[in-house]
A and B are shown apart, each in its own frame.
Chain A
Amino acid sequence: MDKNSNSFVMSFAVGMCIVLAVMLAGTFNVLKDRMDANVAFDQHVNVLIATGLHSRAPGSEPKTREELEDLYASFIVPQVLEVKRGVATERVREAGVEKDVQVERVIDMIETDYAIDDLPNLRLQERRKPNAADRREFTTFFTRFDSDDPATRKPVAYCIPIEGLGLWGTIYGYLALESDLDHVRGITFYKHKETPGLGGEIDAAWWQSQWPQKKILDDRGEFVSVSVKKGQVDPAVERERLHMVDGLSGATITSNGVTRLVESCLQDYMPWFARLRQGK
């Protein structure tokens, strides 16, 4: 057969595409469950780290996958919340004058009955709605309890997902608060594209270990968040000691990104935290 005839070239190309497509689709489908399980497990581990049930710091004891899944199943209760956005009035100080401004933000979060595994389908379903105004928004929330007995246990920590822009892409992680919803319990990042060795140090145990016991509220109970300072925190200054962590040198944009994403994600959860406080 003539190898260079048009018909041979065409049929070779088509045949090649079909064979490779089938091979790729096959591999993906066979391993899809495994990949999804890995992603879910990775998120579970990060919730455990943020809430203080597990640590990746050097010297901490290693745990098997079963042990970690077991810890997660026993102590962590995930919830799906519905997010309501709207316009809120905020008092700001500008050039020494206090005035009211209208800001668009999350004004409420409501408990739902959806399981956390339903979330991907739920979000897909909402995205498919033709009318943008009808779309609902969902988020997750994790409560860490002190024992695995549902009758008597009390929450000891709460964990929220955090995400926002760093230097090279979106940073994803979890932030956990103590049960007073004021002091930070821990922070982790499970997906980011920051420069290894510079911004990538947000993964380092020594840097994350500064976060616990920082306060997100000031002494009047107003939300101030925790920010990453450019430079080192001065312990003599109360505002810095309570609400700031050391910056990463050579990673100003990552540091600022973390400041912004922590603030905006915590801000979103403020209505839900208010509900939790009232519930007590």
Chain B
Amino acid sequence: MTATTDATAVRTASGAPTEAPLEKQPLLGKKEKAAVLDPLWDNNPIAFQVLGICSALAVTIKVEQTLIMCAAVIVVVAMSNTVISLLRNYIPNKIRIIVQLTVISSLVTVVDILLKAYAYDLAKGISVFIGLIVTNCIVMGRAEAFAMSNPPFRSFLDGLGNALGYSWILLAVGVFRELFGSGSILNVGILTPTAGGWYVNNGLMVLAPGAFLLLGIIIWVVRAISGYTER
């Protein structure tokens, strides 16, 4: 069962989400574990839902950038899910999307400011993509589909799981792109580029179409292993 249908199942006839009494639940119950683990493989936001691939193309040229992007997305999705979940009983239905977007964009701005203040060198190359996390479908998707109808801790875990599921795919793409596009991993030279070396950098890998091809291959591999087919 996917996290999305799970979330709707909790809703009662009146539309208000119900919560089981807290004292009866262990910290990490079945639903909590599913919230983290489901999106890693069974319901991966990129491989199965094909969400958030715009940034998978943009920031995966170098592994270093990819790591920063992943960290930023993890913080933003986990925090936005938590905040939206805390506010879920008060957010008026008419303006819920705008409220979600406002929360998400504020968090993204805070992350951008923090990066500029504490990791300036890294933030320099990636600042423009951090801003684009606002438009990442995963963030709003999780807020709308999960956080609006689940308690804060479970929403936090769901955000964490989805962001991690997104991160590992991004990292896989990033490793291949940096290795074949720039001949290095984390800026450490592995394949010696020409001018003394033997490896000619593959220009396709540093451009968006290279990422598209790689992403397609990764999604194919993941789906072939888990036997998933689109209905």
Residues of chain A lying within 8 A (CB to CB) of residue B182? 197
Known: A9-B94, A20-B102, A20-B106. A193 touches B128 (CB 8 A): yes
Stretch at the interface among B5-13, B17-25, B108-116, B130-138: B108-116
A39 to B116, CA, bound (A): 9
Asked if B62 contacts A31 (CB within 8 A), the reply is no
Known: A39-B120, A191-B124, A196-B61. A13 touches B109 (CB 8 A): no
Chain B residues 72 to 128 lying within 8 A of chain A, measured CB to CB, are 90-95, 98-99, 102-103, 106, 109-110, 113-114, 116-118, 120-121, 124-125, 128
Main secondary structure of the interface of A (DSSP, over half): helix
Known: A196-B62, A206-B195. A12 touches B116 (CB 8 A): no
Asked if A16 contacts B117 (CB within 8 A), the reply is no
How many chain B residues touch the partner (CB < 8 A)? 35
A77 within 8 A of B: no
A4 to B95, CA, bound (A): 10
Chain A residues 18 to 68 lying within 8 A of chain B, measured CB to CB, are 20, 23-24, 27-28, 31, 34-35, 38-39, 41-42, 58
Residues of chain B lying within 8 A (CB to CB) of residue A193? 128
A58 to B196, CA, bound (A): 15
Asked if B203 contacts A35 (CB within 8 A), the reply is no
Residues of chain A lying within 8 A (CB to CB) of residue B109? 24
B206 within 8 A of A: yes
Interface size class of A (residues with CB under 8 A): 20 to 34
Of all chain B residues, which has the CB nearest A249?
A: B203
Known: A197-B61, A206-B195. A31 touches B114 (CB 8 A): yes
Residue of A16, A28, A39, A196 near B206 (CB, 8 A) is A196
A198 to B182, CA, bound (A): 10
A8 to B103, CA, bound (A): 18
Asked if A27 contacts B120 (CB within 8 A), the reply is no
B interface list, Cβ under 8 A from A: 61-62, 65, 90-95, 98-99, 102-103, 106, 109-110, 113-114, 116-118, 120-121, 124-125, 128, 181-182, 189, 195, 201, 203, 205-207
* Top 6 closest pairs, chain A to chain B, by CB: A197-B206, A38-B120, A31-B117, A34-B117, A196-B61, A20-B106
